Amino acid sequence: MSEKVLVTGGAGFIGSHVAERYLAEGFDVTVLDDLSSGRRENVPDGAAFVQADVGSAAARELMADGGFSILNHHAAQMDVRVSVEDPALDARTNLLGLLNLLEGGRAGALRRVVFASSGGVVYGESDDLPHPETAPKLPVSPYGVSKLASEFYLAAYAQLHGLAAVSLRYANVFGPRQNPHGEAGVVAIFGSRLLRRQGLTIFGDGSQTRDYVYVGDVVNANLCATRWQVPPVATIDDVAVNVGTAAETSVTQLARALIDAAEVTVPIEHAAARPGELRRSAVSVDKAARIWGWRPEVTLAEGLRRTYEWIQEEAA
């Protein structure tokens, strides 16, 4: 019998790609998603679908009675600005939602959790880049705090209940099906403007950097995490693995690369910098290479080409 995995957020960007891959690998896949930002048509054929909030009684019962040995947790409130405006809403989805699923799973068959954390928000601002997993943690947003606190809850469940939990600290993930609200939302925003032949607006001087990783590479890391012989937890970093490219790309470089991928010419304009954004961000991927032999395989140029192609198909 195939192993049963519940993919939360599987109607969203990253979760739908992960669900697709689990199916291809022979897992029995159910997607749980409230469709708040996800789309029903993103759920791959062959996966069962349950529309519910992660914090609901239905989600908890599903975890308790559904026979899932693996929880792949991608559902989240993931808008940094929403978390600043309404930290309690962020905590309700991201912390109480996680605990609801874990408590359901504790009554059920749950053995392993793969959690979508964020290397873009758990580490503080520093010029000592790329950040290894052990870099100091100092989130500047409630969203970052909820990701970090989730990692601590998972570490506690590992100690209390023997749960094998892996936190994947994603850099800025981009690719087909991404929406404009995520941490690499700029790719979707620029892409749809290019499609309409509109100029690209850069906030600030454009030198702020991010680490852009293609969604297909992120999916590979999810598979590695699902099969990993998880070590004992002495610190949360023992069971956290960065998923990025270690390369910093400035917003200006990204805009130019996307213009190249789209093969259109539009002006680049500047607007006032937005407060509260990190200046620079990139994660080291040495650990993933060492423990899993994982490396990012898709270049930024190729990833942007595939993403722009998808944006065009969507619009057509």
Q: Which residues bind ligand NAD (CB under 6 A)?
A: 8-9, 11-15, 33-38, 53-54, 74-78, 93, 97, 116, 118, 120, 170, 172-173, 179, 182-184
When the beta carbons of 55 and 108 are compared against ligand NAD, the nearer one is 55
In 111-121, which positions are buried (b, 16+ CB within 10 angstroms) versus exposed (e)? bbbbbbbbbbb
Residues annotated as catalytic (active site), given as ranges: 143
When the beta carbons of 53 and 266 are compared against ligand NAD, the nearer one is 53
When the beta carbons of 93 and 284 are compared against ligand NAD, the nearer one is 93
Q: CB 285 → ligand NAD: shortest distance, Å? A: 14
Provide the 10 A C-beta neighbour count for residue 48.
13
Q: CB 117 → ligand NAD: shortest distance, Å? A: 7
In 151-163, which positions are buried (b, 16+ CB within 10 angstroms) versus exposed (e)? bebbbebbeeeeb
Q: CB 112 → ligand NAD: shortest distance, Å? A: 17
When the beta carbons of 117 and 252 are compared against ligand NAD, the nearer one is 117
Q: CB 34 → ligand NAD: shortest distance, Å? A: 4
Q: CB 186 → ligand NAD: shortest distance, Å? A: 10
When the beta carbons of 269 and 314 are compared against ligand NAD, the nearer one is 314
